[in-house]
Structure 1
Amino acid sequence: MSNTMRTIRPAWLVAVAVVTAAVGWLVTELTSRASMALPVLPLSSLITMGLIVVVCLILGLKVRRWRDGNRNKHLDPLLAARTVVLAQACAYAGAVLFGWHAGIMLDQLPTVAMRADLAVIWQIVALLAGGLVMVAVGVMVERFCKLPPEDNDPAAKTRPKHEGRGEEEFA
């Protein structure tokens, strides 16, 4: 039931966040010069982010329970594979959202003292936190889906590792 898939690499998440932050900063500079509104997601997007996190957690906990020995019910391998993909997508989407809003925040920091209304700054902070939660949940759920090596399986001990390629076994 195990498939070989690439795991999330933290360095890639950081790279995605940094590149997206640079793009967010640049877009904010351009929109500010054109006297346009800040390109910040509305607070209602936190609801969508929260729903994605909850679904990802529920599916991940189901796979983790099965992995940890509660095998009273059959676990559909396709569900497990989709859970891994959802977890990875959640982590990368969180990195993009975090990076985008970090870039906007970097652009806005010099003007914070001059603002009469800090609502948009708190909105950015909330979206930054939402992005971090998505990354954390995505990474955690992906780890829920990782199959432990079998103690009584001699092939598991002699299987060569693919060092530096980020390949792991998943449920």
Structure 2
Amino acid sequence: MDNAPYHSVKLDKPPTSTNTKREIISWLNSKGENPPDNYSKAELLELAKPIAASMGSVYVIDKIACGNGHKVIRLPPYHCHYNAIELIWGQIKGCVAKENHFKMADLKALLHEALSSVTEENWSNAVRHVETIILNDTANDVSINHFVEEFMINIEYSDDDC
């Protein structure tokens, strides 16, 4: 899954400065904290920071997927080429653009036609292509890491001949 904001809605979102003081206190209480009544909003947020950091991120969509027997694997940011659906969207947009000639009246019908033209084979090919890209990138990353490790320089050693 990509990191679109609607895929990254947190299940138990920690409070921010946009929350009211009452909301922050309520969140802290739900975590077993009982802050003093005289704390300012800024002090309450400071109290919430370590709790929020220790919780990690649990996303709504991950919980839904897990409840249905799936595990969400998130794509690294800015790596849309690892997402097979981008290839399918490219196919659909290409079909629409080829036939549309910029007529809004035809757009809905063309979109439905393009969507129905996506086959199981198209999906298989897209997934295979993405898997190949990931495997190649992983192999290149391992090669680069090995190369970098060979040429590490120890700055603590002061022998001029090295």
Larger Rg: 2
Q: Give the structure with the larger strand fraction.
A: 1
Could you say which TM-score interval applies, normalised by the shorter chain? under 0.3
Q: Determine which structure has greater relative contact order: mean sequence separation of CA pairs < 8 Å that are 6+ residues apart, divided by chain length.
A: 1
TM-score (norm 2): 0.25
Q: Which one has a larger percent helix, Structure 1 or Structure 2?
A: 1
| TM score, norm. by length of structure 1 | 0.24
